[in-house]
Amino acid sequence: MTDHWFEPLADHLGAAYLRYSFTKGTAQEVDFLVEELGLVPGQRLLDVGCGPGRHAHAFAERGIDVLGIDIAQRFVDIAVERTPPGAPASFRRLDARDLPFDAEFDAAISLCQGGFGLVGPGDDVAVLAGVARALRPDGRFALSAFSSYFQVRYPQQAGAFDVETGVHHERTVLKDEAGAEASADLWTTCYTVRELGLLCERAELHVDAVWSVEPGRYQRQPPTIESPELLVIGHR
């Protein structure tokens, strides 16, 4: 398995990742996605780039059988440790660019740049192709991505947006569970609605809707330059 630049960040952050404000709207996001994806208890869900398992745990609470995968072993360990006894959630360290599944899941998600968006523009299609293979025929998927429109409209002082590649680079400081600081570089690929549609088409995934969203406020809002993320809903 290929190492990834995100792994040292995850090693440093540990469970402190769950202190960030963008993680506080998990329940609302999951309620929205259960409805959008038509999920019912007992169905199987693949969480690609699950991080410490916040979405996976919330889906499991609703009776969905979840497998969360992440390239960062530290996050996988935290997700396992935080899984309630008897909850239908399990976790494995896997690379989102090389998923080994074959028509095993009723639905799949990749949210909050957990897998898609962090591997680089050349590899994101490999993530989508793996998702397509993992889904059963007519299986549903949800994918979030940072919006290029928002990045251009609201440039961040601490970062730089590369127009040629669509990658936003940010130099930041991360605090671990004890408050110790470490400098870190973050690279996130941003997309337009059209680009997301073309990538999904290339991976043989069908787009049903694209919504403009923000953490903790998933809703059926048509794409706008005023929202930081785009949420793609579709099927195999």
CATH number of the domain that 11 lies in? 3.40.50.150
Percent of the chain with pLDDT over 70: 97
Render pLDDT for 167-176 as a digit per residue (tens, 0 to 9): 999 998 999 9
- Give a yes or no: residue 202 inside a domain: yes
Q: What mean pLDDT comes out for the span 14-28?
A: 91
- Give a yes or no: residue 145 inside a domain: yes
**Domain encompassing residue 46:** 6-235
Helix runs in the chain, H state only: 6-13, 26-37, 54-61, 73-81, 124-134, 148-153, 193-202
pTM exceeds 0.85, yes or no:
yes
Q: Is the pLDDT of residue 119 over 70?
A: no
Alpha carbons 4 and 162: distance in angstroms, whole number: 21
Render pLDDT for 138-193 as a digit per residue (tens, 0 to 9): 999 999 999 999 999 998 877 899 999 999 999 989 999 999 999 988 889 999 99
* Counted domains in the chain: 1
Alpha carbons 231 and 174: distance in angstroms, whole number: 26
CB 131 within 8 A of CB 99: yes
CB 193 within 8 A of CB 144: no
The pLDDT of residue 2 is 56
- Give a yes or no: residue 225 inside a domain: yes
Q: Is the pLDDT of residue 40 over 60?
A: yes
- Give a yes or no: residue 24 inside a domain: yes
The pLDDT of residue 94 is 96
Sign of CA dihedral 217, 221, 223, 225: negative
The pLDDT of residue 1 is 57
Secondary structure (3-state) at 25: coil
Residue in 151, 125, 118, 120 with CA at minimum distance from that of residue 49:
118
Q: Is the pLDDT of residue 208 over 80?
A: yes
- Give a yes or no: residue 1 inside a domain: no
Q: How many residues does the chain have?
A: 236
* Residue 113 pLDDT grade (very low, low, confident, very high; cuts 50, 70, 90): confident
* Residue 121 pLDDT grade (very low, low, confident, very high; cuts 50, 70, 90): low
- Give a yes or no: residue 227 inside a domain: yes
* Residue 114 pLDDT grade (very low, low, confident, very high; cuts 50, 70, 90): confident
Q: What mean pLDDT comes out for the span 41-54?
A: 97
How is residue 210 written in tokens? 């694209």
Alpha carbons 108 and 132: distance in angstroms, whole number: 9
